[in-house]
Amino acid sequence: ALFKAQAETGEIKGHYLDATAGTCEDMVERAVFARELGVPIVVHDYMAGGFTANTTLAHYCRDNGLLLHIHRAMHAVIDRQKNHGMHFRVLAKALRMSGGDHIHAGTVVGKLEGERDITLGFVDLLRDDFIEKDRSRGIYFTQDWVSLPGVLPVASGGIHVWHMPALAEIFGDDSVLQFGGGTLGHPWGNAPGAVANRVALEACVQARNEGRDLAREGNEIIREAAKWSPELVSA
């Protein structure tokens, strides 16, 4: 299916094969198997696997041309309560040091909501090289990552085409938008769901590049795009 999709679209496609396992050796073995299959990306639950295991897997992926997607299952046990544990900002910075290409970072909109300024604060800490102190965004001291590569934020969880203007405006270009139910839940099936998301995204990017206000005109932009896409109309 992966190669068929690539042949039909002329674009690189991937499927997140889960490399999370009970030992570092098993994780690397799974990554090796994924590479042999020709899959360009694997996923690791870094909170469940731990930082040592994550760094081991990150080194293998880096040396062998695999992308590493980071899931954060179990993070809420640590960061949800304000009177114990630690903030996800700390977990995100630790992940950047451990290794990974993109990580779930909340959505601001959708089911994994988070306070906008605070979310964008740790998004900046993930992907920018130098971040100025800004207490309103939860950044309490200047952070200089020097040459350490960044990590792309992933917006995923309860998002659909009507969230697209907000997502494009909030996260910008260097981000990953994952639509699970927002794709599979399309009444016509998976492929039309993917088409609807793609049309909505490209319409929002074009509108933004033309100087339109996504926050204020978002619904209108989606409706205009829907005139040319029956898949988007039905989404």
DSSP state at residue 43: E
Residues in CB range of 21: below 8 A, 6 or more apart: 27, 29, 30, 49
* Whole-number Å distance between alpha carbons of 54 and 59: 9
Rounded to an integer, the average pLDDT of 4-11 is 91
Q: What is the pLDDT of residue 113?
A: 56
Q: What is the pLDDT of residue 82?
A: 78
Residue 164 confidence (pLDDT) above 90:
yes
Provide the token pair at 33. Answer: 């198997």
Alpha helix positions (H), the chain: 2-9, 24-37, 46-49, 51-63, 75-79, 88-98, 116-127, 164-171, 181-184, 190-209, 214-226, 230-234
Rounded to an integer, the average pLDDT of 44-52 is 96
> What pTM was computed for the model?
0.91
State percent of the chain over pLDDT 90: 83
Judging by DSSP bridges, how do beta strands 130-131 and 143-144 pair with one another?
antiparallel
Provide the token pair at 56. Answer: 């081991």
Phi then psi dihedrals of residue 139, to 5 deg: -105, 105
Inter-residue contact 171 to 122 (CB < 8 Å): no
Residue 162 confidence (pLDDT) above 70:
yes
For the chain, give the mean pLDDT: 93
* Whole-number Å distance between alpha carbons of 2 and 5: 5
